[in-house]
Amino acid sequence: MGNRKQPFGYRVVMGEIALHPQESKLVEYIFQQYLAGATYNTLVEELREQSIPYDEGKLWNKNMVARILEDSRYTGERGYPPVIDREALEKALEKRSAKQTAAPKTDTQKLLRRFSGRPSTARMERQVLDLLNSLIISPEQLRFPATAPPDQSTERSLQRELDRVMECQPIDEDAAKSLILSIAAAQYSAVDSREYETVRLRRVFSGRQSTTALDAELLQRSVSAIHCHNDGSLNIKLKNGQVIGKE
């Protein structure tokens, strides 16, 4: 319904307030899951995956869940048929009150927010964990970027100059050392940074075991961005520029 006139879980039948069969079951489920340890974010994720909306045309959000968990009418007050008992409501209110002082974010949650630009969720953490575990299991997925051959003209020019210096007697040692260092610098700059990162990432992932919890250190060393999509999926951009997950 567009503008809800009754609390979620109720409807009017023949002028009387009655339970809405599907919605009231969902209210009961929300209380059960919350008291069993589910967070608002987890509940919102689950509720968005089922077919019953809170309001027609709107996605479930934390405010909707909070409204349900604090509404005393679900215990049978003010003429409404009961969905839950008073004890369940009181426990939900106590739990909510205890969580008013938010627990500090973990390093992993902070990194997920920084890389994605949005608050971290359990689902996001699980998806990123699965993608990184896939690289631990199969590091060969890490590919060298397709690049054009490096420009070696500077290196060749310096090498010719060094050859001339070495042919002259006596050898100008200072000039030779300077040219050798310049050639080394030119060779280093010709190495694509993405190739270096790919080699480094292969070392990082090859020396690990798959894990059941997302490691903040691995996240920091391997990921440069997380792109979230409207359908709930995501991909990760690695530090070598490679994208893993949904393109």
H or E segment to which residue 19 belongs: strand 16-19
Q: Which domain holds residue 60?
A: 10-98
| Same-domain check for residues 46 and 160 | no
Helix axes 86-98, 21-35, angle to 10 degrees: 50
- The segment with the largest mean pLDDT, out of 2-11, 57-66, 92-101, 147-156, is 57-66
What per-residue confidence (pLDDT) applies to 4? Answer: 63
What per-residue confidence (pLDDT) applies to 231? Answer: 86
Model pTM above 0.75: no
- Any idea what the CATH number is for the domain that residue 23 is in? 3.90.1750.20
Q: Which residue, among 122, 104, 105, has the nearest Cα to 114 in the 3D structure?
A: 105
| Same-domain check for residues 186 and 198 | no
| Same-domain check for residues 132 and 199 | yes
Cis peptide leading into residue 170 (ω within 30°): yes
What per-residue confidence (pLDDT) applies to 52? Answer: 96
| Same-domain check for residues 20 and 73 | yes
